[in-house]
Amino acid sequence: MPFIDLNLQQLQSKLAGGEFSSRELTRAYLDRINATGGSLNSFITICEESALAAAEAADIRRKKGDAAPLTGIPLAVKDIFNTEGIRTTAGSRILENYVAPYDATAIARLKEQGAVLLGKLNMDEFAMGSSNENSAAGPCRNPWDPNRVPGGSSGGSAAAVAARQAVATLGTDTGGSIRQPAGHCGVVGLKPTYGRVSRYGVIAYASSLDQVGPLARTVGDCALLLQAVAGFDPADSTSVDTPVPDYSAALGEDVRGLKIGLPKEYFIDGLDADVKQAVETAVAVYRDLGAEIVEVSLPHTDYAVACYYLVATAEASSNLARYDGVRYGRRVDNGSGLIDMYCRSRAEGFGDEVKRRIMLGTYALSSGYYDAYYLRAQKVRTLIRDDFNKAFDQVDLLLTPVSPTPAFKLGEKVNDPLQMYLSDIFTIPVNLAGTCAMSVPCGFSGQNLPIGLQLIGRPFGEETLLRAGHAYQQATEWHLKTAEI
């Protein structure tokens, strides 16, 4: 079996058993990336030299008997993580030559274990987008159909796993940016609870919503990667100081007696027929496995997208003020003075969608509009969070579609920002509530496009998510299908 067909758990045991070295494995992945990465445009930067050096160091570490779970495992990460000495662009022209001077905490934790970093993955500029079309590096394509988007903003992170260019990747999720591309590319994507993983060194979009999480082909592999990056970090004052459980231990338990809620607001008229059928079939699988299925209500679902596009853009307008052409990033010439230099550097460096969101956020926070927009949105956020709290009084998990349709075509929604925003209608509420959720492959459309199932858990309920996701993958074979590329 070629290396690239193995999952992370299998790679671990074969590396441990000495069947191949990390250097051989890393070489195989780099060859795969070089052969297939160009047509998908999944990578922004390939780290060939440093990856091979890290692989050799991992092999030496293993010989010394000092291997950690991820020692020698080749991974790739969204180009939003600061990686010391490696160009980090966040998909933006304004950062096209930025070389990170330090590692994000999540990256440092992977490196401590001796993981191998293959490269930096394509993404929507500053994580703003649902299609990976807003990237200064050009759009990334869906491995299942190159005329379609991989989803976004972590499009490269999902496409690389689906194309078997990396066994697992890290992405970030602010309104669905891990789960939606995972769903569109037929892989597993986990957005942990807000505060579970440090955001230190992750280029910020909307700080009260951003969260780091893994993408992989199996739920078990996501558990391994989450284990590596989860936990309190003094450098991120919003990371939560609560013990990290043994996530892999949760995988063994069955779902008998688990109460799963179907929020009626997520099974609406606009839902694509293939998506509806795939999700209903998944519900039947859970029923057969012994879970109890009940209908619940999240009554403020319909307001989540509007709420999100005020909260997220307000935070973005503030976060992106740091790109001023002074300390790092693009600067045009000095112009007619400091303010002129700021204004022209930013106008030249940012893409259209980023400008649109900065403008919306600035407007929502501006004098005379703050109460009507930003403050009202924060109050609606409370109502949305209360919906989830009430639902979790009744059930252990929620089950929904990830997206209303399978992956759409490149160019289909670029000129209609509102339609693009509405494609995240099922993922956005989770970020506003701050809880955890996971996308799991659950079927294919008539056009052979992957469909994703979303499981939503209580805050810090990742173990229940993993347990239910793993049980589903034991009972189904959707995750074993591979894109032909």
* Nearer to other proteins (CB atom), residue 364 or residue 468: 364
8 A C-beta contact, residue 171 and residue 158: yes
Task: Report the DSSP beta bridge partners of residue 117.
Answer: 75
Closest alpha carbon to 197 in 110, 127, 322, 120: 110
**Distance in Å, CB of 228 to other proteins, minimum:** 22
Report the alpha-carbon angle 467-468-474, nearest 5. Answer: 90
When asked if residue 444 is in the footprint of other proteins (CB under 8 A), the reply is: no
Stretch that binds other proteins, among 243-251, 284-292, 325-333, 472-480 (CB under 8 A): 325-333
Catalytic residue among 22, 42, 78, 317: 78
**Residue from the set 72, 195, 441, 452 that interacts with other proteins by CB under 8 A:** 195
- Interface with other proteins in residues 382-441 (CB under 8 A): 382-383, 385, 417-418, 421, 431-435
**Distance in Å, CB of 59 to other proteins, minimum:** 30
Question: Which residue type, as a one-letter code, is found at position 120?
Answer: K
8 A C-beta contact, residue 157 and residue 215: yes
- Interface with other proteins in residues 199-218 (CB under 8 A): 208-209
When asked if residue 324 is in the footprint of other proteins (CB under 8 A), the reply is: yes
**Residue from the set 205, 309, 408, 478 that interacts with other proteins by CB under 8 A:** 309
State the Cα–Cα distance between residues 93 and 125, nearest whole angstrom.
9
When asked if residue 75 is in the footprint of other proteins (CB under 8 A), the reply is: no
When asked if residue 368 is in the footprint of other proteins (CB under 8 A), the reply is: no
- Interface with other proteins in residues 108-147 (CB under 8 A): none
**Distance in Å, CB of 328 to other proteins, minimum:** 4
Closest alpha carbon to 86 in 46, 115, 135, 54: 46
Closest alpha carbon to 385 in 349, 441, 435: 435
Stretch that binds other proteins, among 13-21, 215-223, 245-253, 309-317 (CB under 8 A): 309-317
Task: Report the DSSP beta bridge partners of residue 145.
Answer: 142
Residue 153 known to be catalytic: yes
Tokens encoding 162:
């689906």
Q: How large is the angle between the packed helices 8-16 and 219-229, nearest 10 degrees?
A: 70
**Residue from the set 32, 330, 470, 479 that interacts with other proteins by CB under 8 A:** 330
When asked if residue 346 is in the footprint of other proteins (CB under 8 A), the reply is: yes
**Distance in Å, CB of 191 to other proteins, minimum:** 12
The dihedral through the CA atoms of 322, 328, 331, 336 has a sign that is: positive
Catalytic residue among 135, 157, 177, 345: 177
Residue 78 known to be catalytic: yes
- Interface with other proteins in residues 262-281 (CB under 8 A): none
When asked if residue 300 is in the footprint of other proteins (CB under 8 A), the reply is: yes
* Nearer to other proteins (CB atom), residue 289 or residue 343: 343
**Residue from the set 73, 202, 358, 449 that interacts with other proteins by CB under 8 A:** 358
Q: Using omega within 30 degrees of 0 as the cis cutoff, is the peptide bond preceding 153 cis?
A: yes
Tokens encoding 450:
């992957």
**Residue from the set 18, 49, 257, 339 that interacts with other proteins by CB under 8 A:** 339
When asked if residue 297 is in the footprint of other proteins (CB under 8 A), the reply is: no
Contact letters for other proteins, residues 28-67 (x by CB under 8 A): ----------------------------------------
When asked if residue 99 is in the footprint of other proteins (CB under 8 A), the reply is: yes
- Interface with other proteins in residues 224-243 (CB under 8 A): 234, 237-238, 240
- DSSP secondary structure of 222-283: HHHHHHHHBS--TT-TTS---PPP-GGGGGG---TT-EEEEEGGGS-TTS-HHHHHHHHHHH
DSSP 16: H
Count the helices and strands in the chain (H runs, E runs).
Answer: 15, 11
CA distances, 481 to each of 28, 217, 449 (Å): 21, 10, 11
Residues binding other proteins: number (CB under 8 A): 71
* Nearer to other proteins (CB atom), residue 50 or residue 238: 238
**Residue from the set 158, 223, 260, 380 that interacts with other proteins by CB under 8 A:** 380
Stretch that binds other proteins, among 2-10, 42-50, 324-332, 391-399 (CB under 8 A): 324-332
* Nearer to other proteins (CB atom), residue 39 or residue 382: 382
State the Cα–Cα distance between residues 455 and 255, nearest whole angstrom.
13
Question: Which residue type, as a one-letter code, is found at position 426?
Answer: F
**Residue from the set 325, 443, 450, 461 that interacts with other proteins by CB under 8 A:** 325
Report the alpha-carbon angle 208-456-140, nearest 5. Answer: 70
Stretch that binds other proteins, among 35-43, 119-127, 269-277, 303-311 (CB under 8 A): 303-311
* Strands lying side by side in the sheet with 211-216: 43-46, 116-121, 74-78, 168-173, 211-216, 188-191, 436-444, 450-457, 397-401, 259-263, 292-296
Stretch that binds other proteins, among 43-51, 283-291, 380-388, 466-474 (CB under 8 A): 380-388
* Nearer to other proteins (CB atom), residue 61 or residue 356: 356
- Which residues belong to the active site? 78, 153, 177
